[in-house]
Amino acid sequence: MKKNNEDEIEIGLIPEFDEADKENFAKSYIHSVVFSVEQYKTMAVVSLLALGIGAAVGIVEVAFGKGLELVTNARHAHTVLFTSALAIVGLVIAFLYKYLGKEASKGMALVFQAADNKEKIPPVLVPLVMVSSWLTHLCGGSAGREGVAVQIGATVADQAGYRLQKFGIFKNTRDTFVICGIAAGFAGLFQTPFAAIFFSLEVLVCGELKYKSLFPAAIAAFTSYYIAGKFGIHAEKVSIAVQVLSVPLLCKLLVLGLIFGVAGAFFASTLRRTKKFLEKVFPDPIIKTFVMGAILSLAFMALHSGRYSGFGTEITMAALTGGQVYDYDWILKLLLTILTLSAGFMGGELTPIFSIGSSLGAVIAVFFGLPPRYVAALGYSAMFGSATNTFLAPILIGAEIFGTQNLPSIVVVCAVSFFFNFDKTVYGSQKKLNA
């Protein structure tokens, strides 16, 4: 019998553990359990801190959002006066960044580097980016606000994460703090908490969801969302008629997804190339911003007297509510946004992308025999995903802004758009999982 057992052991039928193996297994198991418990304890405490981060970011976002409302209203009241001063404002912004916050000029790149534990985001970035964005919008630059919102949130959160890690507390959680800041900044200003949560989880690395940060990011997002909402920051909700999925509609959605994917890739790729080109043409950022500001002033005034200035919200709402949309609105908004951001003016890409995607959708809807408002809503969501190389966030923002009744259509178009963006993104520091 013994021989048979030995034979069976030799061919691997009956495993044998000696006392040392058993002891090592027990130690390994206990270590694994202890490590898991420690991880949960760390995330529990970080989640409590996320509550404070969300509250702090929410308050700052209220100040930033209210400031944007004031400067936008001032520009609308005196369009010619303020738009003609864009070049002067460009000088001010360039001087501020050159002499007060040279590191802060990296903008969103700092957010990605901080999450990678490579850089610390300087606190001066918050007032610099807020003031520069206010000035940009006051004088008609075609820019958004999400870049600023995310930078504000990430800076506030990273200051906490960096200090705790510096003193040996909560090691390897720096990225979680940054993610909490991104989620809080996005949710506070856009009032779309679910999209904010998943945007923060997927934007740092395309193809990877940082689920370890899900719970604290959700707490930070909803806290900021609640506080900002209480102080009057709100999102424009639009009801879109339901379109029942069918085989002909599905075929049309596939083509629409392809169009929005290519458009988003074109925007992201052209933005990056234009930035590099203008840096070569104007090595001095002060001269670059001044010259481009003067050119942009003339362009904004010549093209429908400021129609393409600022966020582009008027174009977006016209596309989504059946208002006046010109065939060329989307391309002019795209080009002027690229020039504004490449010139050194501050803001973000996302709100103009909403305008570009929705106006493009409203224009091409006629070729597909579909309601313009419906296709505009699809473009609003899908171009967000194709330009930022994200998938879940654009689906969720579509559901939060337009309701869930057309969620199947949004999912299909966003999926195809994400596939056909050719891995392009407006965020140059975004990593790729398969890279």
Mean pLDDT by 10 residues, the chain (435 residues): 46 54 54 53 83 95 96 96 97 92 82 87 92 96 91 90 72 86 95 97 91 93 96 91 94 98 97 96 95 97 96 96 97 98 94 97 98 98 96 97 95 97 92 72
> Looking at residue 313, what is its pLDDT?
95
Q: Tell me which DSSP letter residue 118 carries.
A: S
CB 36 within 8 A of CB 202: no
Q: Give the tokens for residue 307.
A: 């129609």
Considering the entire predicted model, what is its pTM?
0.89
Using CA atoms, how far residue 231 sits from 58, 189, 218, in Å, is 9, 11, 20
According to the model, what pLDDT value does residue 100 have?
A: 85
Instruction: Give Dmax (Cα) for the chain.
Output: 101
In this structure, are residues 354 and 384 in contact, taking their beta carbons and an 8 Å threshold?
Answer: yes
What local confidence, expressed as pLDDT, does residue 146 receive?
82
Distance CA 346, CA 85 (A): 15
Helices (H), 204-311: 214-230, 247-281, 285-302
Q: What is the pLDDT of residue 10?
A: 47
| Cα dihedral 118/122/126/130 (nearest 10) | -90
Question: CA torsion sign, 87 to 269 to 101 to 221?
Answer: positive
In the prediction, which pLDDT does 162 show?
78
Q: Determine contact, residues 64/290, Cβ cutoff 8 Å.
A: no
The DSSP letter of residue 141 is -
DSSP 365: H
Residue 431: enclosing H or E segment and its boundaries? strand 431-432
